Structure 1
């Protein structure tokens, strides 16, 4: 597949980078996470290890065990948001080996940092919400996430059952999707670069390590049934938490879904404006949510500056908003997380209807959204 091309003009992006660089120079700050992020990483990692050890070697009662497995899944997702994500983007630390160490937390959890870099950093961040290219939109046949995807009868109810498939994300990711990418040599229809011997060793070595830590050892210490229940709870909570945070960033009512020109493969907007149109923020004033999700509620800032740590996103938010106001670019943001969830549900509901319903008047759409918002208030 020929990769899409963005508009040649980069005036918006160039001015945005100039203002952002000026901010860091004037503030005398590094673009990486610093001690604040290191402390958070140590806290989350210590919590994960403590809960894991208690579950595996001290075997709590059934009810407490299920609760701890759910907590383990949530902490694991938080490590993904805060530690792995910044590390994979090279923004956790100035030192490359520390970034690699942070990124490798994904390998310990059962994923693969090489595949994540290909899928997330290189494809998703470059071609966000571009149909046929951004693999994050591909949940077929179970879910229809963009208007260009075929509609099936079951999609009529996807706004009701989506949570089930979101809960399956992590277990499908580590036991199926990584291997699919490995053996196909593609992510969707986009080829991935050839893996080196080191990449191969990391892929298979950590897959075996994960099976040992999260399958073999717990079965040995707790028994098969207890492990199976706990493992499924752990995976479901981690999968749903990861899914919902990332989906609120791109698959909501106000974000754009782009189809490149059929022959030229060109996209109308320059890259930076494309990122703003295809991305949305949520609950940026909520410090607890911001802390837990690693600043990924500032998704616009992250997509424009993925190599800058999330600890700086509140400051960048002001710069980008001002730029959008000056250039007449719509900035998508939901003031509360529940509003973003409501918009995601409304988006799924709309896509689950007949294709003709997409042509309904905007006032009708606003009325439906208003009803959904009231449901979450």
Structure 2
């Protein structure tokens, strides 16, 4: 499938929005990257993961506590993905390139691959959000139907009931299948993968092997196969579900759109920034705990418009973006609460379960 082109405008909404955002940073005299609050949060999340891993593997806590710690390890892994990896991969964690690279590499340590993620997320998803056949995030078949242009199967009749089980498998699918599929097919969905350098190949296999060693071999040696298997399943299910639900609430809800390119010209109806606003939604933006833990991904609109700006600035930027949307009569999707966002997502899945 050939990637579509977006509408070009001389005096675009995007240009005006960038001007207003640039003015904000100049007036405040602050950097667009992360600050001490982000670095403290990163230290808390990474330190917590290291302590829990050490206690689980080398100190053998009682079964009830071990299961609880495995679940917490999953929560911390998702939190590191949201706050450290995500900002690092977008180059917004720090002014220093090396720190951004180190933050992004945390994804490799946790079992996935940053090279594949950058292509899937930064290059494809951010450019072609909610465009079926291009945005790989919509490809959850055959188990889930995430937009009307996808084939309706009998199993989809119940997707609003079993979606949580599918989301819980994300971590296992990503780490043990999806990365390898992209590696060997050299594609992300229908889009070609950027050519990998020798260092990328070495990094891919070295981190995949080290992940197996630290998250499988070593725990099996210290606690035994069955305790490890149960603990790893709990850990992976928590990581998968938490990450899935946060990302899905931003794009697959009743409020968002799934535009299709004009058939003869392969062009989208809107300019890129307007497309992002129509296909993306914020949620629970007044909930400080959700904002802290999700790395500002509940401010998904601001993130999609300005992915190279750290999430610590999104609450302030949201006011500027919302005002600009009101001035230009462009929709700004903001679901007030987490519960309302989940209800919207489930309702949307139920809507797609029927012809």
TM-score by length of 2: 0.99
In 2: Cα distance, 1:44 partner to 1:35 partner: 14
Secondary structure at 1:104 match in 2: helix
In 1: Cα distance, 2:104 partner to 2:127 partner: 20
Matched, 1:297 2:285: no
Deviation digits for residues 77-122 of structure 1, max 9, x if unmatched? 0000000000000000000010000001100000000000000000
Partner residue, 2:3: 3
In 2: Cα distance, 1:277 partner to 1:292 partner: 25
Q: Deviation at 1:263?
A: 2.8
Matched, 1:47 2:48: yes
Q: Deviation at 1:264?
A: 1.6
In 2: Cα distance, 1:35 partner to 1:97 partner: 17
Partner residue, 2:249: 248
Partner residue, 2:212: 211
Partner residue, 1:196: 197
Q: Deviation at 1:344?
A: 0.1
Partner residue, 1:360: none
Matched, 1:345 2:313: no
Secondary structure at 1:265 match in 2: coil
Secondary structure at 2:83 match in 1: helix
Q: Deviation at 1:204?
A: 0.5
Deviation digits for residues 352-373 of structure 1, max 9, x if unmatched? 01x2xxxxxxxxxxxxxxxxxx
Partner residue, 2:235: 234
Structure 1 residue ranges (4+ consecutive) displaced by more than 4 angstroms after TM superposition = none
Secondary structure at 1:130 match in 2: coil
In 1: Cα distance, 2:35 partner to 2:203 partner: 27
Secondary structure at 2:42 match in 1: helix
Partner residue, 1:259: 260
In 1: Cα distance, 2:317 partner to 2:213 partner: 42
Q: Deviation at 1:123?
A: 0.1
Q: Deviation at 1:218?
A: 0.4
In 2: Cα distance, 1:119 partner to 1:264 partner: 25
Deviation digits for residues 322-375 of structure 1, max 9, x if unmatched? 00001111111111000000000000000001x2xxxxxxxxxxxxxxxxxxxx
Partner residue, 1:364: none
Partner residue, 1:363: none
Q: Deviation at 1:177?
A: 0.1
Q: Deviation at 1:321?
A: 0.3
Q: Deviation at 1:208?
A: 0.5
In 1: Cα distance, 2:52 partner to 2:182 partner: 32
Matched, 1:120 2:127: no
Partner residue, 1:224: 225
Q: Deviation at 1:262?
A: 2.0
In 2: Cα distance, 1:140 partner to 1:2 partner: 21
1:1-377 aligned at under 5 Å gives the runs: 1-9=1-9, 11-353=12-354, 355=355
In 1: Cα distance, 2:265 partner to 2:94 partner: 40
TM-score by length of 1: 0.93
In 2: Cα distance, 1:275 partner to 1:148 partner: 19
In 1: Cα distance, 2:343 partner to 2:102 partner: 37
In 2: Cα distance, 1:38 partner to 1:263 partner: 49
Q: Deviation at 1:34?
A: 1.6
Q: Deviation at 1:258?
A: 1.4
In 2: Cα distance, 1:140 partner to 1:286 partner: 33
In 1: Cα distance, 2:170 partner to 2:314 partner: 27
Count, aligned residues = 354
In 1: Cα distance, 2:274 partner to 2:136 partner: 20
In 2: Cα distance, 1:329 partner to 1:58 partner: 56
In structure 1, the gaps of 5 or more residues are 356-377
Q: Deviation at 1:154?
A: 0.8
In 2: Cα distance, 1:59 partner to 1:204 partner: 30
In 2: Cα distance, 1:133 partner to 1:335 partner: 30
In 2: Cα distance, 1:111 partner to 1:263 partner: 38
Q: Deviation at 1:11?
A: 1.0
Deviation digits for residues 255-305 of structure 1, max 9, x if unmatched? 000111223210000000000000000010111110000000000000000
